[in-house]
């Protein structure tokens, strides 16, 4: 009697399991079309990608495109990789995750893709240099870039007749002047550690070699040497910010800047939508962070914000290229730029957001340098180390810890680089 019941319960449970495990695989709606799936990591651009998906499917009979724009896409991508369930195309940033993916041979060589010839060389070069060790082939098609520098309140600047600074000294004078008029020069949101990286990156490109991290990996220099000036100058900025910058988060800083509580905000162009959501009438412009003592030494801090990579497992690269062609259509790129204040990686005559006015000449001339933090492993938490440094203000301690931790967190990469160097020398 009871044995029967237990057995029937067991049977029932296994039936349920079976029923649902079968139900899980039923989503192949293949009607002769080639399926192309994209997972891209910028959820803020989800609306744009839904639009692209619909437009593409409406105009193509042979290919069916699906684009996912999940939040926390990196976690999703990594778990899908471990399940060996690869999307055809992934849209990720040009940062160290990309370097790891190339190293892990997850991505396909797309040097055969004709669309690459329309992409600005500066961005293709950035993509190449992100490879841990030089690897034959091209693994990414850069799509959009962003830029970091200083956002400023254009109306406030015009009202007081303030000039855009071109050198470090001019910036310091400007800050003094703004402060003397009783206005706060900068706002910071250093409670969110990642915002500590924004001024850091945009100053470091002016003062340190673009490939500092790679030079260190090859054992040619140290961060203590290359980052001293940046660190010393960074502390000076604090004098012109709020009293306790570590109390405010990114969101607080955006709101404060939007409400006119400060004249400038050293952050990337990506902050504009959040700022404008609080105050849609604010007139924002930006300028390149003038950290160098000479105007010629300054360069725009710009890196690849979104690039498309075809995975090695993609069965039909031709179909993937056709999707990329569609994404690279001028009118689609223009739509993306308008919605996200982004900078296109494609050559062509696009209308940039007025927020980027002050950076225009740098973009035009290609005077751009990638973010230093795209080479930092995230687990080293350079952002948190910077926050600690800004609280303690101890340059020597910060730099020596930086060098020490770098060796520890990059052990495997350094070994890889040095193996490559010695094998190359032989």
Partner 1 sequence: MKNERKRTFLLITIPILALFVCFNTIPLIRGVIYSFTNFKGFGSYDWVGLRNYMDLFTDVRVGKSYLFTFKLAIVTTIVVNVISLILAMALNSKIRAKSFFRGAYFLPNVLGALVVGYIFNYLFTYIIPAFMDMIGLEAFSSSILSNQNTAWIAIVVVCAWQSIAMNTIIYISGLQTVPEDVYEAGGLDGATGWKKFRYLTFPLIIPFFGINMVLSVKNFLMVFDQIMALTKGGPAQSTESISYLIYNNGMSGGQFGFQSANAVVFFIVIVLVSVTQMKISSGKEEQL
Partner 2 sequence: MIKKKSNWPVMAFLICGLMTIAFPLYMTIVIALKQPTEMTNSIQGILSLPKSWSLANFREAMRVTDFWHSLGNSLLITVVTVVLSIVVHSLLGYAVGRNKAKSKFYSFVYLFVVSGMFVPFAILMMPLAKQTAELGLGNWFGVVLLYVVFYMPMNVLLYSGYLVNIPIALEEAARVDGASTWTTYWKIIFPVMKPMHATVAILTALAVWNDVMTPLVIMAGSNQNTLPLAQLNFQSQFGTNYNLAFASYLLALIPILLFYIVCQKQILNGVVNGAVK
* Cross-strand partners of 144: 306, 344
Which of partner 1, partner 2, none does 273 bind, CB closer than 5 to 8 A by kind?
Answer: partner 2
85 counts as binding partner 1 under rule CB under 8 A:
no
380's CB contacts (< 8 A; 6+ apart) are: 405, 406, 409, 410
Distance in angstroms (rounded) separating the CA atoms of residues 366 and 354? 18
Segment near partner 2 (CB under 8 A); pick from 54-62, 74-82, 317-325, 329-337: 74-82
- The dihedrals phi and psi of 265, each to the nearest 5 degrees, come to -150, 110
Least Å distance, CB 249 to partner 1, is 7
Q: What share of the chain is helix, strand, coil (3-state, %, to 5)?
A: 55, 15, 30
247 counts as binding partner 1 under rule CB under 8 A:
yes
Cβ contact 68:92 at 8 Å: no
Cβ contact 88:37 at 8 Å: yes
Segment near partner 2 (CB under 8 A); pick from 73-81, 132-140, 348-356, 377-385: 73-81
71 counts as binding partner 2 under rule CB under 8 A:
yes
Distance in angstroms (rounded) separating the CA atoms of residues 218 and 420? 10
Distance in angstroms (rounded) separating the CA atoms of residues 295 and 292? 7
54 counts as binding partner 1 under rule CB under 8 A:
no
Please say which residue, 158 or 247, places its beta carbon nearer to partner 1.
247
Segment near partner 1 (CB under 8 A); pick from 137-145, 256-264, 337-345, 386-394: 386-394
Nearest to 375 by CA among 401, 343, 410, 345: 410
403 counts as binding partner 1 under rule CB under 8 A:
no
134 counts as binding partner 2 under rule CB under 8 A:
no
Q: What is the per-residue burial (b if ≥16 Cβ within 10 Å, else e) of 305-338?
A: bbbbbbbeebeebebbbbbbebbbeeebbbebbe
Which one of residues 97, 231, 255, 286 is an interface residue with partner 2 (CB under 8 A)?
255
Least Å distance, CB 57 to partner 2, is 16
For partner 2, how many residues bind (rule: CB under 8 A)?
A: 47
425 counts as binding partner 2 under rule CB under 8 A:
no
Least Å distance, CB 207 to partner 2, is 26
Least Å distance, CB 172 to partner 1, is 25
- The dihedrals phi and psi of 352, each to the nearest 5 degrees, come to -85, 160
Segment near partner 1 (CB under 8 A); pick from 118-126, 136-144, 165-173, 240-248: 240-248
Q: Name the site residues for partner 2 (rule: CB under 8 A).
A: 1-2, 5-6, 16-17, 20-25, 27, 39, 42-44, 46, 68, 70-72, 75-76, 78-80, 82-83, 85, 87, 194, 251-252, 254-256, 259, 261, 270-271, 273-274, 277-280
């Amino acid at each position: 009697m009871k044995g029967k019941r237990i057995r029937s319960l067991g049977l029932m449970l296994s039936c349920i399991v079976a029923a649902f495990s079968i139900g899980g695989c039923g989503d192949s709606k293949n009607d002769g079309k080639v399926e192309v799936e994209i997972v891209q990591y910028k959820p803020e651009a989800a609306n744009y990608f839904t639009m692209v998906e619909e437009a593409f499917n409406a105009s193509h009979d042979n290919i069916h495109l699906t684009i996912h724009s999940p939040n926390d896409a990196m976690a999703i991508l990594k778990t899908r990789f471990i399940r060996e369930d690869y999307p055809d195309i992934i849209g990720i940033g040009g940062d160290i995750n990309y370097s790891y993916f190339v190293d892990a041979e997850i991505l396909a060589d797309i040097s055969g893709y004709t669309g690459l010839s329309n992409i600005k060389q500066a961005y293709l070069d950035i993509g190449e240099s992100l490879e841990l060790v030089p690897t034959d082939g091209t693994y990414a098609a850069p799509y959009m870039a962003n830029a970091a520098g200083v956002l400023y309140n254009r109306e406030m600047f015009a009202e007081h007749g303030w000039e855009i600074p071109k050198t470090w000294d001019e910036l310091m004078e400007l800050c003094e002047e703004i402060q003397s008029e009783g206005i706060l020069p900068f706002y910071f949101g250093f409670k969110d550690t990642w915002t500590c990286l924004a001024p850091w990156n945009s100053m470091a490109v002016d003062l340190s070699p673009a490939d500092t991290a790679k030079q260190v990996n090859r054992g040619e220099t140290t961060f203590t040497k290359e980052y001293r000036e940046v660190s010393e100058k960074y502390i000076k900025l604090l004098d012109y910010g709020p009293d306790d910058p570590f109390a405010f988060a990114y969101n607080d800083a955006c709101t404060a800047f939007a409400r006119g509580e400060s004249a400038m905000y050293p952050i990337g162009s990506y902050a504009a939508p959040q700022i404008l959501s609080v105050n849609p009438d604010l007139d924002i412009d930006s300028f390149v962070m003038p950290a160098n003592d000479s105007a010629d030494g300054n360069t725009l801090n710009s890196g690849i914000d979104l690039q498309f990579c075809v995975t090695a497992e993609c069965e039909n690269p031709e179909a993937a290229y056709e999707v990329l062609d569609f994404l690279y259509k001028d009118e689609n790129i223009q739509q993306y730029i308008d919605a996200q204040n982004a900078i296109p990686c494609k050559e062509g005559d696009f209308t940039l957001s007025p927020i980027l006015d002050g950076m225009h000449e740098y973009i035009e001339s290609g005077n751009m340098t990638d973010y230093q933090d795209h080479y930092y492993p995230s687990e080293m938490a350079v952002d948190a180390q910077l926050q600690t440094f800004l609280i303690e203000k101890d340059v020597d301690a910060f730099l020596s810890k930086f060098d020490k931790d770098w060796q520890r967190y990059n052990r495997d990469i350094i070994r890889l680089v040095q193996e490559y160097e010695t094998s190359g020398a032989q």
